Amino acid sequence: MSLVLDTAAQDLLFREARTANTFSDEPVTDEQVQAIYDLVKFGPTAFNQTPLRITLVRSAEARERLVSHMAEGNQAKTAAAPLVAILSADNEFHEELPELFPHFPQAKDVFFGERSVREGSALVNASLQAAYFIVGIRAAGLAAGPMTGLDFAGVQKEFLDDDHTPLMVVNIGKPGEDAPFPRSPRLDYDAVVTTV
């Protein structure tokens, strides 16, 4: 074995983990979400920036508003999931850099003074953090159902502001009956990795 992580953990996080389309009725607690975040916040990003923002949709009224912005095929599962999170990128993340990147606090202005630069960096690094968040959900013994089939402008207007760009919606919970679709193929190593 070339991996230090034991086989059971590898299976939990990757091999056996699946995108869930149905969930049990078991609730997802704030304590579980905090434990997930407190683990995945250590994932690497450029300049240690932390642009990911997580909006937990718990109330029935907010859930109804969100469902109306989901693609038709995602509406029922979003309505029924124990917890739904809107993941977005904070395009003003640079304001936190003096605290998060203290050995070079000037990075805030030197590298991220222009909005277009911030938006590009926020998109890349919040997407990294979103991937860590999904793996963290799996580490908590839960399943994630990430979705990008939604009206992004509608979700932004309904739940966010102009400084936050929605990335995806993630359903979270214990998998229900027939939760995953059959496993789709993955590319082999030789199709992906080249050496120069």
Q: Are 119 and 93 spatial neighbours (Cβ–Cβ below 8 Å)?
A: no
Give pLDDT, residue 178.
83
Domain 29-176: top CATH class: alpha beta
Q: Give pLDDT tens digits for 80-94.
A: 999 999 999 999 999
Burial class from Cβ neighbours inside 10 Å (0-12, 13-18, 19+) for residue 23 reads buried
CA 62 to chain centre: 19
Q: Residues 102-157: pLDDT tens digits? A: 999 999 999 999 999 999 999 999 999 999 999 999 999 999 999 999 999 999 99
pLDDT in tens, 2-51: 899 999 999 999 999 999 999 999 999 999 999 999 999 999 999 999 99
Phi, psi at residue 110, to the nearest 5°? Answer: -65, -45
How far apart, in whole angstroms, are the C-alpha atoms of residue 141 and residue 163? 33
